[in-house]
Amino acid sequence: MGMSLVAPFAVEARHPRNSDLLIQSLTGVCERRLRSRLSPAIKVVDRNGKKHIKTPTLRGVSLPEIDGHILKVSPKDLEIEIIDPLKENDQQMEEFRRYIKATRGVDENIRACDPVKAKLDKHRMKTLCREVLNFINSEEMVWHGSSAKFEMKDLEDLDGRYLLNPGSQIPNGQPSFEDELDAYREKLLNAGG
C-alpha cells in the first residue's frame, strides 16, 4: 500500500443541466460547492426517456458559456485546489454581467471566487478521488486539460480507507469507515436494533 497509480489530476465541474456540484469529501475542509460550467445548451430527458438538447431563454436572452470551477487534486501530496476560471476571464465575466442585467433588470456586482487550497487526510483524499470518478462517470465532471486519467481499481492502492459518510457534520454514532459497516450492522442486529 502507499504507492499510488493516481497521478495529480484536474477536473472541471460540468453538470449537463448547469447545476452546482456538492463535493461531500470536502465537508469541513473548504468550500464544497463547485459552480458547474454554465451553458446555453442543456441536456434534458423527456417522459419517454429520449434525450434532447434545449437552449432556454429568459426575456429573450440565452445564458452565455461560462467555464466551471476547476478542482486540482494531488493524491500523493494530499492537496487540493479549487480555481474559478472566471477570475481571469474578463470577457466571460462581462458576458455574465450583461446576462444578469438583461434577465434580472439589475446591474449586480458579480465576483469570481478566489482560489482555495486545502490539505486533506489520506482517508478523505481516497474518498474524494472515488467521488470525483463517480462524477465523471455520471457526466457531471470532465477531465481538465491533459489531466492524467485513472480508474476505480487504481484507487485501491491509495493509502487510507473510504469514509462512510464524508458529508456528515454532526456526531451520529455511525462508524467512520465503510469497511466497519458490516460489523456495526451486526452489532445493531444482535442488540435488537
Give the cell for residue 113: 471566487
> Could you tell me the residue ranges of all domains in the chain?
9-160, 163-193
Furthest CA-CA distance within the chain: 63
Tens digit of each residue's pLDDT (9 = 90 or more) over 169-192: 888 888 999 999 888 888 888 887
Give the C-alpha separation, 99 to 110, whole Å: 11
Residue 61: band (very low, low, confident or very high) from pLDDT cuts 50, 70, 90? confident
Tens digit of each residue's pLDDT (9 = 90 or more) over 36-51: 998 887 777 888 888 8
In DSSP terms, 21 is beta-bridged to: 34
Q: CA nearest 33: which of 22, 47, 45?
A: 22
The pTM assigned to this predicted structure is 0.85
Tens digit of each residue's pLDDT (9 = 90 or more) over 152-175: 999 998 999 999 999 888 888 889
